Structure 1
Amino acid sequence: MKQVICFGDSNTFGYIPGTGKRYPWGKRWTSILSEKLAGTDSRVVEEGLVGRTTIFEDPLRDGRCGVKLLPVILETHAPSDEDLVVIMLGTNDCKAIYGASPEVIAKGVGRLVRQVKAYSDKVKILIISPIHLGENVWKEGFDPEFDGNSVEISKKLAAEYRKISRAENTYFLDASEFAVPSKTDEEHMDEDNHSRLASAVYEKIRAIRCA
């Protein structure tokens, strides 16, 4: 792999829980992954954006709809058949305003996968289902854009993403098996969990290379 393009939301961006700031290089999972791949012929392309969704338009912030942005990003980085596109989205799709079921969110991921395939049917694709939302994320003092149902939806994404992965013949990883959200905001990973996820993705990439 020459490029590992990581297309995601705030947890790919490296949002520091409760601050609005970004983890520095070496702390966010994409940069840790890049360091783990040092010495190989690969480089990590960080394409994380706070608030990004799979298919939904955010009424409060522009430019968050994944299916509108991914084609531009693919043209920008021009992945070849030696490259890997990593898609880790869905957390923001769980917001109450979208009213989306796990099945609908997974279909959004499926659209993203097909956009990659339309660009090149040789590019490898890794779908990562996101970490679960914390039980208190919707309560006072946390994120009012979520509700109690959002938490349950987030827990059901992995099963639906697996179905999409099988149907589209992609690789799959469940981030919730390795990482959890910080208690600070019940939504974003702390440094330890960024490190855990980076290790899991690294091992998955090693397995893909050997496949």
Structure 2
Amino acid sequence: MTERIFCFGDSNTWGYAPGDLMTPRYPRETRWPGVLARLSGREVIEAGLCGRTAAFDDPDMPGRNGARALPRALEEAGTPDYAVIMLGTNDCKRVYGATAEEIGQGLSLCLDILAGVILPSRILVVSPPYLGENVWRPDRDPAFSPESVALSRELKTVYRAIAAKRGHLFLAASDAVRAEAWDEEHLDPAGHLRLGEAINAALFGGEGQTALKPGAGANAGSDLPGRSQAE
């Protein structure tokens, strides 16, 4: 029986393509869950939703609370063999006024639910890509603030500690990709490719990596030399 991977996240898991009014979602083969499916040879269940938080209720968009939505999503998915969770970007919005530790508490609520049906060692916690320095500008996403940018960089350390304490796998998306799209919030197609490669490597040691163009993931990521860091 083919193993199944459950991917739970926000717009970067859903595959939002900023600026494209005709096709606002990247094709399946472009989105990182599709890349993961191709590389790993496993069935991938996509459970991404634009605007989703780890555990906050969005005052303008109902149904975005990840901890509330996760039990239903898991029920619909059946019993997956692995899980990948990447949330936290939307929790950095100014409306919540949250700290990185509070966002981590919300993530932990989701992990409690996942660990009820999936082995802890088969759950991959992914800290999201850093927000760009100008993401908060009116022509981009004013739901964020300059403080949101700094907050997004704190999640890596908090999430790593949570994963280690709970016995989960961990990957910092910022080690592999940056929010290259014009809005400084979402991944472009090349970013989806690199993130799919990195997640496959984190889960399975990179098995099947040659299925993609050699070197496609090289020299990319917000933690590479030449990129300013704040952790």
The TM-score with structure 1 as length reference comes to 0.91
Matched, 1:16 2:17: yes
Q: Give the whole-Å Cα distance in 1 for the aligned partners of 2:102 and 2:78.
A: 29
Matched, 1:4 2:5: yes
Distance apart, 1:183 and its partner CA = 4.4
Q: Residue 68 and residue 153 in structure 1: after superposition, are their counterparts in 2 closer, same or farther (change >3 A)?
A: same
Return the letter of the residue paired with 2:33.
Answer: T
> What SS does structure 1 have at the residue aligned with 2:202?
helix
> What SS does structure 1 have at the residue aligned with 2:95?
helix
Q: Give the whole-Å Cα distance in 2 for the aligned partners of 1:190 and 1:35.
A: 18
> What SS does structure 1 have at the residue aligned with 2:115?
helix
Match of 1:115 in 2: 113
- Aligned residue pairs total 204
Gaps of 5+ in 1: none
Match of 1:45 in 2: 45
Matched, 1:26 2:29: yes
Return the letter of the residue paired with 1:139.
Answer: R
Render the CA deviation track for 1:13-37: whole Å, top value 9, x for unaligned. Answer: 0001223600012111111111112
Q: Give the whole-Å Cα distance in 2 for the aligned partners of 1:183 and 1:76.
A: 32
Q: Give the whole-Å Cα distance in 2 for the aligned partners of 1:121 and 1:188.
A: 30
Match of 1:56 in 2: 56
Render the CA deviation track for 1:152-204: whole Å, top value 9, x for unaligned. Answer: 00001000001110111111000000011124101000011111101101111
Verify the 8 A CA contact 1:9 1:53 in the aligned structure 2: yes
Q: Residue 202 and residue 125 in structure 1: after superposition, are their counterparts in 2 closer, same or farther (change >3 A)?
A: same
Matched, 1:76 2:76: yes
Question: What is the identity percentage for the equivalent residue pairs of Structure 1 and Structure 2?
Answer: 41
Distance apart, 1:78 and its partner CA = 2.1
Verify the 8 A CA contact 1:110 1:168 in the aligned structure 2: no
Match of 1:155 in 2: 153
Q: Give the whole-Å Cα distance in 1 for the aligned partners of 2:174 and 2:121.
A: 25
Distance apart, 1:116 and its partner CA = 1.3
Verify the 8 A CA contact 1:133 1:151 in the aligned structure 2: yes
> What SS does structure 1 have at the residue aligned with 2:114?
helix
Q: Give the whole-Å Cα distance in 1 for the aligned partners of 2:199 and 2:178.
A: 15
Q: Which has the higher helix share?
A: 1
Distance apart, 1:2 and its partner CA = 1.0
Q: Residue 163 and residue 98 in structure 1: after superposition, are their counterparts in 2 closer, same or farther (change >3 A)?
A: same
> What SS does structure 2 have at the residue aligned with 1:181?
coil
Gaps of 5+ in 2: 208-231
Q: Give the whole-Å Cα distance in 2 for the aligned partners of 1:125 and 1:167.
A: 13
Return the letter of the residue paired with 2:37.
Answer: S
Match of 1:35 in 2: 38
Verify the 8 A CA contact 1:131 1:176 in the aligned structure 2: yes
